Amino acid sequence: GKFTVGDYLAERLAQVGVRHHFVVPGDYNLILLDKLQAHPELKEVGCANELNCSLAAEGYARANGISACVVTYSVGALSAFNGTGSAYAENLPLVLISGSPNTNDPSQYHILHHTLGHPDYTYQYEMAKKITCCAVAIPRAIDAPRLIDRALRAAILARKPCYIEIPTNLAGATCVRPGPISAITDPVTSDKNALEAAAKCAAEYLDGKLKPVILVGPKAGRAGSEKELIEFAEAMGCAVALQPAAKGMFPEDHKQFVGIFWGQVSSDAADAMVHWADAMICVGAVFNDYSTVGWTAVPNIPLMTVDMDHVTFPGAHFSRVRMCEFLSHLATQVTFNDSTMIEYKRLKPDPPHVHTAEREEPLSRKEISRQVQEMLTDKTSLFVDTGDSWFNGIQLKLPPGAKFEIEMQWGHIGWSIPAAFGYALRHPDRHTIVLVGDGSFQVTAQEVSQMVRFKVPITIMLINNRGYTIEVEIHDGSYNKIKNWDYAMLVEAFNSTDGHAKGLLANTAGELADAIKVAESHKEGPTLIECTIDQDDCSKELITWGHYVAAANARPPRNMSV
Ligand SMILES: C/C(NCc1cnc(C)nc1N)=C(/S)[C@H](O)COP(=O)(O)OP(=O)(O)O
Ligand SMILES: [Mg+2]
Is 532's C-beta closer than 6 angstroms to any atom of ligand 1? no
Return d(Cα 439, Cα 436) in angstroms, integer: 8
CA of 474 to the centre of ligand 1 (A): 11
3-state secondary structure of 470: helix
Is 392's C-beta closer than 6 angstroms to any atom of ligand 1? no
CA of 58 to the centre of ligand 2 (A): 23
Q: Could you tell me how many residues make up the chain?
A: 562
Is 388's C-beta closer than 6 angstroms to any atom of ligand 1? yes
Residue of the CA atom closest to atom 6 of ligand 1: 413
CA of 443 to the centre of ligand 1 (A): 9
CA of 406 to the centre of ligand 1 (A): 14
Q: Which atom of ligand 1 is nearest to the CA of 411?
A: 12
Is 411's C-beta closer than 6 angstroms to any atom of ligand 1? yes
Is 365's C-beta closer than 6 angstroms to any atom of ligand 1? no
Residue of the CA atom closest to atom 5 of ligand 1: 413
Give the CB-side neighbour count of residue 18, counting CA atoms within 13 A.
31
Residues 6+ away with beta carbon under 8 Å from 282: 215, 217, 299, 303, 304, 305, 306
Q: Of the candidates 157, 152, 140, 139, which has an alpha carbon nearest to the alpha carbon of residue 178? A: 152
Torsion (CA) 407, 408, 409, 415 in degrees, nearest 10? 30
CA of 388 to the centre of ligand 2 (A): 8
Measured between alpha carbons, how far is residue 411 from residues 14, 74, 196 in Å? 30, 24, 38
CA of 231 to the centre of ligand 1 (A): 38
Return d(Cα 185, Cα 178) in angstroms, integer: 13
Are 28 and 102 spatial neighbours (Cβ–Cβ below 8 Å)?
no
Q: Which atom of ligand 1 is nearest to the CA of 472?
A: 16
Supply the angle between the helices 365-375 and 509-521 in degrees, to the nearest 10. Answer: 30
How many degrees, rounded to 5, is the angle at CA 448 between CA 443 and CA 452? Answer: 170
Q: Which atom of ligand 1 is nearest to the CA of 464?
A: 21
Is 395's C-beta closer than 6 angstroms to any atom of ligand 1? no
CA of 440 to the centre of ligand 1 (A): 6
Residue of the CA atom closest to atom 9 of ligand 1: 412
Q: What is the pLDDT, as a whole number, of residue 560?
A: 66
Q: Of the candidates 316, 317, 274, 281, which has an alpha carbon nearest to the alpha carbon of residue 299? A: 274
Kindly report whether the global pTM for this prediction surpasses the value 0.90.
Answer: yes
Is 82's C-beta closer than 6 angstroms to any atom of ligand 1? no
Return d(Cα 166, Cα 101) in angstroms, integer: 8
84, 368, 407, 468: residue to mutate for ligand 1 pocket, most atoms within 8 A of CB: 468
Q: Provide DSSP, 107-170.
A: GGT---TTS-SSS--THHHHHHHHTSSEEEE--SGGGHHHHHHHHHHHHHHHTS-EEEEEETTT
Q: Of the candidates 95, 82, 87, 81, which has an alpha carbon nearest to the alpha carbon of residue 126? A: 81
- Strand 316-319's sheet: what is its strand order? 257-260, 239-242, 212-216, 279-283, 303-306, 310-313, 316-319
Is 416's C-beta closer than 6 angstroms to any atom of ligand 1? no
CA 250, 162, 408, 311 dihedral sign is positive
Is 468's C-beta closer than 6 angstroms to any atom of ligand 1? yes
Q: What residues flank ion ligand 2 with Cβ within 5 A?
A: 437-439, 465, 469
Are 14 and 42 spatial neighbours (Cβ–Cβ below 8 Å)?
yes
Encode the chain (562 residues) as per-residue pLDDT tens digits. 899 999 999 999 999 999 999 999 999 999 999 999 999 999 999 999 999 999 999 999 999 999 999 999 999 999 999 999 999 999 999 999 999 999 999 999 999 999 999 999 999 999 999 999 999 999 999 999 999 999 999 999 999 999 999 999 999 999 999 999 999 999 999 999 999 999 999 999 999 999 999 999 999 999 999 999 999 999 999 999 999 999 999 999 999 999 999 999 999 999 999 999 999 999 999 999 999 999 999 999 999 999 999 999 999 999 999 999 999 999 999 999 999 999 999 999 998 899 999 999 999 999 999 999 999 999 999 999 999 999 999 999 999 999 999 999 999 999 999 999 999 999 999 999 999 999 999 999 999 999 999 999 999 999 999 999 998 888 889 999 999 999 999 999 999 999 999 999 999 999 999 999 999 999 999 999 999 999 999 999 999 999 999 999 999 999 766 5
Ligand nearest to the CA of 470: 1
Ligand nearest to the CA of 442: 1
CA of 386 to the centre of ligand 1 (A): 6
Measured between alpha carbons, how far is residue 483 from residues 438, 439, 464 in Å? 10, 9, 11
Amino acid at site 240:
V
Measured between alpha carbons, how far is residue 249 from residues 159, 222, 224, 434 in Å? 17, 9, 10, 18
Q: Of the candidates 122, 126, 120, 93, which has an alpha carbon nearest to the alpha carbon of residue 108? A: 120
Q: Provide DSSP, 278-299.
A: SEEEEES----TTTTTTTT---
